[in-house]
Amino acid sequence: MSAIANPASAAVSAPAAIVAPIIKVDQITKSFGANQVLKGVSFEVARGEMIAIIGASGSGKSTALRCIDRLETIDSGAIEVAGIRVDDPAVDLHLLRREVGIVFQSYNLFPHLNVLENVMLALRHVKNQSKSEAQKVALAALAQVGLDEKAGAYPEQLSGGQQQRVAIARSLAMAPKVMLFDEVTSALDPQLTGEVLRVMEDLAAGGMTMILVTHEMNFAKRVADRIIYMHQGRVWEVGPGDMLDNPQTPELKAFLAADL
Amino acid sequence: MIGSFSWTHLWYLVDSIWWTVVLSLLAFVLGSIGGFGVMLARISTRTWLRNMALLYIECIQGIPLLILLFIVYFGLSVYGFALPALVAAGIAMMVYTSAYLGDIWRGCVEAMPKPQWEASECLSLTRWQTLRLVIIPQATRLSLPPTIGFLVQLIKMTSLASVIGFVELTRAGQIINNSIFQPFLVFTVVGTFYFLLCYPLSRWSASMERKLNVSNR
């Protein structure tokens, strides 16, 4: 196996060393009132890498993710995404959000628009695409999540899993460089979780740079290039998927035991 | 027809309904435009603009419509702006309606779930695009019952314009009564006409509210 001949696959096995990281999170802190939820979190994500962030509720994992898209501002530290300094107060948020797609636990589809219109909205009004062009892009994105046949349906007519896949397609259609997933399967029944995870797995296989905050340990272990375990506002342990088989810290050990 | 109340009197009343409708529509359309502006100001990111709109709403809601009518009609005429009664009534009711509709609509816009704003923001939509494409279309549904409810109030309040001499339904009733003095009959007929204008709207508003409740939760 030649790591030098194929930098893309090399990036997966040794991310930071070969390719410049597309996301750099450096010593960020964040407090809500007196409660410091992030206490100096650092990590880097290489292009094409899939990172799973795990940890107990209140460990700061969702907050860290939201800081990357500047849905929360940080108190100190630095975040850089695709060359954009996210912590810069004058950052161009519209530019940042064209590079970063985010999917939420609660789907947040627009209930007054049908599936196709949901996906087309930003294509039309942010990317200023023509109607036919936007429709083509939107249908392609819907096909990617296996829902092109539901283009005319309204969100309320879809199952939770289908709604979440539309939400993924809506982000995906904007062709972001990075996709963030904030506990996207936490509101779903186990049988609906699978279809959403499959879509994410396809995305990862397609080379999308992804960070997901998740409770799906088996999925994280199998699909993620690296896992970040957060505990009490810090990165506690980082490693490849199989780090879950032999946790190094008692905290991760306890967390995994509680999860089973 | 009944006593000295003739078909001519009845026709005079029916004819005056038109002016009640004109004044109501004038107040509603102008007030909607003003109210939309007040709503935008109330949810603005600029503090001074929000506060100005709040001050406007609180002042207007604390003044009787009758006094607003007096200010515009009698008050302005002193300074050389002698407005026709219809224009004066239209302006006073626009000012009044703007304050109420602005506040009703602000409530509807603010009732939209926060994640809708967040999702739009993350798709790089601007604040105005979010408002126009995502929030207002949803808030409109919610706002229809209270807006129509307010329109019903407005139609009834146009009767106040009778005191500045604008001949709408109420004033027409007064004129007839002055000549034949059958107040019970005349004002019952007048009241019936108001009821016929307002009741269908009230029913419509109520039925929409029922429909919204079914689909919303």
Q: In angstroms, what separates the C-alpha of A252 from chain B's closest C-alpha?
A: 32
CATH number at residue A241: 3.40.50.300
Split into its structural domains, chain A has a count of 1
In chain A, which residue's Cα lies nearest the Cα of B120? Answer: A122
Q: Rg of chain A's alpha carbons, rounded to an integer?
A: 18
> What is the rounded distance in angstroms from the CA atom of residue A124 to the CA atom of residue B181?
67
Asked whether residue A2 carries a pLDDT value surpassing 60, the answer given is no
- Judged by DSSP in three states, B23 sits in helix
Domain extent at residue A201 = 7-259
Quick one: which of A93, A152, A97, A95 has its CA closest to A119?
A152
Put simply, whether B124 touches A (Cβ < 8 Å) is yes
Which of B118, B125, B138 is opposite residue A126, by nearest beta carbon? B125
Q: Do B137 and A126 make contact, defined as CB atoms within 8 angstroms?
A: no
Q: What is the mean pLDDT of residues A88-95?
A: 92
Is the pLDDT reported for residue A27 higher than 90? yes
- DSSP E strands in A99-173: the ranges are 100-103
A contact test, residue of B112, B114, B122 with most A CBs within 10 A:
B122
Q: What number is the ipTM of this complex?
A: 0.85
Q: Do A110 and B122 touch (CB under 8 A)?
A: no
Given this model, what pLDDT does residue A240 score? 92
With respect to residue A2, please indicate whether it lies within any of the assigned structural domains. Answer: no
**Under 8 Å between Cβ of A79 and A254:** no
Residue A18: the pLDDT is 55
Confidence of residue A9 (pLDDT cuts 50, 70, 90): very low
Q: Do the chains contact at B124 and A94, CB–CB below 8 Å?
A: yes
- For residue A260, the model assigns a pLDDT of 58
Tokens for A22? 């597309």
Spell out which residues of chain A touch residue B115, defining contact as CB-CB under 8 Å: 104, 106, 108
Q: Is residue A156 part of a domain?
A: yes
Three-state secondary-structure class, residue A53: strand
What Cα–Cα distance (Å) separates residue B10 from each residue in B16, B159, B208?
A: 10, 18, 34
Q: Which domains does chain B have, with CATH numbers?
A: 7-216 (1.10.3720.10)
| pLDDT tens-digit map of A148-181 | 999 999 999 999 999 999 999 999 999 999 999 9
In a domain, A1, yes or no: no
- Strand order of the β-sheet with A226-231 is A100-103, A178-182, A209-213, A50-54, A226-231, A234-239
Beta carbons of A97 and B121 less than 8 Å apart: yes
- pLDDT (mean) for A48-61: 93
Nearest-CA distance B135 → chain A (Å): 9
Residue A119 falls within a domain, yes or no? yes
Mean pLDDT over all residues of chain B? 94
The C-alpha atoms of residue A68 and residue B150 are separated, in whole angstroms, by 45
Mean pLDDT of A60-69: 95
Over pLDDT 90: what percentage of chain A? Answer: 83
Strands in chain A per DSSP E = 23-32, 35-45, 50-54, 76-81, 84-85, 100-103, 178-182, 209-213, 226-231, 234-239
CA–CA distances in Å: residue A230 to residues A39, A61, A183: 11, 6, 14
Q: Which residues pair with B196 in a beta bridge?
A: none
Encode pLDDT of A74-85 as tens digits.
Answer: 999 999 999 999
By DSSP bridging, strand A226-231 and strand A234-239 are: antiparallel
User: Cβ of A110 and B134 within 8 Å?
Assistant: yes
Which of A96, A100, A112 is the mutation pick for testing B, counting most B CBs within 10 A? A112
List the single residue in A with minimal CA-CA distance to B217. Answer: A156
Q: Are B124 and A108 inside 8 Å of each other by CB?
A: no
Partners of B122 on chain A (C-beta within 8 Å) are 69, 71, 97, 100-102, 171
Burial class, A15, CB count within 10 angstroms (exposed 0-12 / middle 13-18 / buried 19+): buried
Q: Is B119 on the interface with A (CB under 8 A)?
A: yes
Q: How far apart are CA A12 and CA A6, in angstroms?
A: 11
**Could you tell me the pTM of the whole model?**
0.85
Is B119 close to A110, i.e. CB distance below 8 A? yes
Note whether residue A86 is domain-resident. Answer: yes
- What is the per-residue pLDDT across B7-45, written as a single tens digit (0 to 9) for each? 999 999 999 999 999 999 999 999 999 999 999 999 999
- A171: which 2 tokens? 């982000």
Tens digits of pLDDT across chain B (217 residues): 678 889 999 999 999 999 999 999 999 999 999 999 999 999 999 999 999 999 999 999 999 999 999 999 999 999 988 899 999 999 999 999 999 999 999 999 999 999 999 999 999 999 999 999 999 999 998 999 999 999 999 999 999 999 999 999 999 999 999 999 999 999 999 999 999 999 999 999 988 888 877 554 4
In chain A, whose CA is at the least distance from the CA of B141?
A112
Kindly report, residue by residue over A117-158, the tens digit of the pLDDT: 999 999 999 999 999 999 999 999 999 999 999 999 999 999
Which residues on B lie below 8 Å from A93 (Cβ)? 121, 124
The percentage of chain B sitting over the pLDDT mark of 70, rounded to a whole number, equals 98
Beta bridge mates, A81:
A23, A84
User: Sorting pLDDT into bands at 50, 70 and 90, what band is A1?
Assistant: very low
Amino acid at A15: P
